[in-house]
Amino acid sequence: MKIKNGFQMILGIVLIISILFAKTTAPRIAVIATGGTIAGMGESGTVAGYVPAKTPVEELLRAVPEIQTLAEVTGEQFTQIASQNMRPDIWMRLAERVNTLLLTEDTDGVVITHGTDTMEETAYFLNLTVASAKPVILVGAMRPPTSLSADGNLNLYNAVAVAADPAAQGQGVMVVMNDEIHAARDVTKENTTAVDAFHSPVFGPLGYVYYGDVHFYRRSARIHTTASEFQHLIVNQLPEVAIFYGYAGFDPGILSDAVDGGVRGMVYVGTGNGNPNHETTDRLTDLSQQGISVVRCARPGTGRVTLGAEVDDAQFGFVVADNLNPQKSRILLMLAMSQGKSTSEIQQLFFSY
């Protein structure tokens, strides 16, 4: 009886210690800073002009001390640029750094501060190349910290809250802006200056975060992160892919000029259902037969590009983008081409990712 009671006492002590440890162990979130408006500085709170990418990560974190109540937060300055200067080589280095952090037990999630101009592109690239189910959140600001009613501090607080929330596991890379949680594949910037510039126009947000209170309502159905075949990307350089915006009277001569300049893949943003004019269709067909990968995308911004509806894609050797926007179609095409995918294989990727 004494042995049994002693054993129960030991179990009780172990249970109490485990509970106390669980309560005092906060999620460990790494904040990677890349610049952008969230790190910008202006002359005053009422002047529209400002210089992005000026404030270092240490100051960004000090400005929001409340995030330390959400998680154990550390910061590193990865780069310091306005996001219109983002490039594929920086994406590849960033993906490598994120993967390295998430492989360790010391990091439970990553928040990346980023300029808004190309945030959706960086998010989608990471969505295809991060090899972890741990949360990766991109966050930025539409107003610099020096502005009246600056939005960056609350956006950063909410981003850390999402990264620290267990429900964010396995959701893929996300963008947190203006109290909304968006899937990297679906989100796009739809306004030049408004605080609510980011939307997922087809499917809506994954969820909402209100002063750190996180609620998810759906999951992304497309392949990402741990299920992606690009999660262990090993290339020195991605193929050059260009985007061409179609319009009435588009001159296809520019397409051949681009190939002469080194372009190996094209995303053609056609009118209506992604339609090129007759002359452009002929030129794109010639280029496709020469080994140039061609993806048809659509100008309207929402809706699917239908395979073979008005264009005989199978005959011409084209790929349709489904409902992926032009800038993200370019990313998926670059990754597919880097792996030597055939036209039919690339088409399947656009229906899956």
Give the residue among 336, 293, 339 at the shortest CA–CA distance from 313: 293
Our separate counts of H helices and E strands in the chain read 10, 16
HSE-up of residue 133 (Cα within 13 Å, Cβ side): 5
Nearest to 312 by CA among 281, 343, 272, 342: 281
Structure tokens at 90: 């920086």
Output the six-digit token pair for 146: 């020096």
Count other Cβ atoms within 10 Å, centred on residue 338. 16
C-alpha–C-alpha distance, residues 128 and 228, integer Å: 6
Residue 91, classed as helix, strand or coil, is helix
Q: Which residues of 281-314 are buried (b: 16+ CB within 10 A; e: fewer)?
A: bebbbebbeeebbbbbbbeeeeebbebeeebebe
Q: What is the 3-state secondary structure (H, E, C) of 287-318?
A: HHHCCCEEEEEECCCCCCECCCCCCCHHHHCC
H helix or E strand, kind and range, residue 81: strand 72-81
Phi/psi at 188 (5° precision): -150, 155
Tokens encoding 299:
């100008």
Contact 116, 139 (CB under 8 A): no
Contact 325, 188 (CB under 8 A): yes
Cα–Cα distance for residue pair 340/353, rounded to 1 Å: 17
- Going by the DSSP 8-state scheme, the letter that residue 276 receives in this structure is P
Contact 142, 206 (CB under 8 A): no
Question: Which positions are catalytic?
Answer: 37
Return phi, psi of residue 160, to 5°. -65, -40
